[in-house]
Chain A
Amino acid sequence: GDQVEQSPSALSLHEGTGSALRCNFTTTMRAVQWFRKNSRGSLINLFYLASGTKENGRLKSAFDSKERYSTLHIRDAQLEDSGTYFCAAERGSALGRLHFGAGTQLIVIP
């Protein structure tokens, strides 16, 4: 069954505002990755976390294995942030097997 539930499926933000994407896991995960889809459909790496939080520019991600969730916060959204974002998580019992969320389509409005 689906092990990664990503929400929201779609999000509209006005430029300069922020919000959070969230992935809930139905089981304990060892690590999580966040990606953004590029124009061709491939994936750009944003974050890899085995625990705690990481920040990169206007993006910040957190992962709580015990509480079974991860978040991706976007602040001061810019038009170029528009796109589809995915989380993917790895169970400790199946190293290397990433379970993907369904994605969040973000639209930043001027």
Chain B
Amino acid sequence: AQTIHQWPVAEIKAVGSPLSLGCTIKGKSSPNLYWYWQATGGTLQQLFYSITVGQVESVVQLNLSASRPKDDQFILSTEKLLLSHSGFYLCAWSPGDEQYFGPGTRLTVL
């Protein structure tokens, strides 16, 4: 069975500090991978997607970047956090159609 992990579970960071969120999928080779974000009180929106190692497409510009260094790993990062980056980040994977979501990371930027 496939499992999806995200780390950290929660993070409190200062404005201007760097950020790195991770996502790992086990039990599925070459999955499509996605990053989503939901601001408090907002609607969940897709940020990035990747269909293969080393290839990432940006969907929404939020001064964030994503990378896929390994087949089973998806990283979301920025060098300088903004207050507006606070929210809930979800990683998802798909074999090609239905998407399955990870447990999420709650980020608070102060």
Contacts and interface: CB of A to CB of B under 8 A. Distances in A.
Interface stretch (A17-25, A63-71, A93-101): A93-101
Nearest to A35: B101
B102 A42 contact: yes
> Which secondary structure characterizes the binding site on chain B?
strand
A48 B43 contact: no
Interface in B72-105: 88, 90, 94, 97-104
Interface in A29-44: 31, 33, 35, 40-43
Nearest to B9: A40
Contacts of B67: none
Q: Report, as a range, how many residues of chain A touch the other chain.
A: 20 to 34
Contact of B90 (A31, A43, A50, A96): A43
B94 A40 contact: no
Given A100-B45, A101-B43, A48 B98 contact: yes
A42 B44 contact: no
Interface residues of B, number: 22
Nearest to B91: A42
A37 to B, nearest CB: 10
Given A40-B104, A41-B104, A43-B90, A100 B98 contact: no
A45 interface: yes
B28 interface: no
B99 A98 contact: yes
Interface of A: 2, 31, 33, 35, 40-43, 45, 48, 50, 86, 88, 96-98, 100-103
Given A42-B101, A101-B43, 11 more contacts: A33-B98, A42-B102, A43-B101, A45-B98, A50-B97, A88-B44, A96-B32, A97-B49, A97-B59, A98-B99, A100-B43
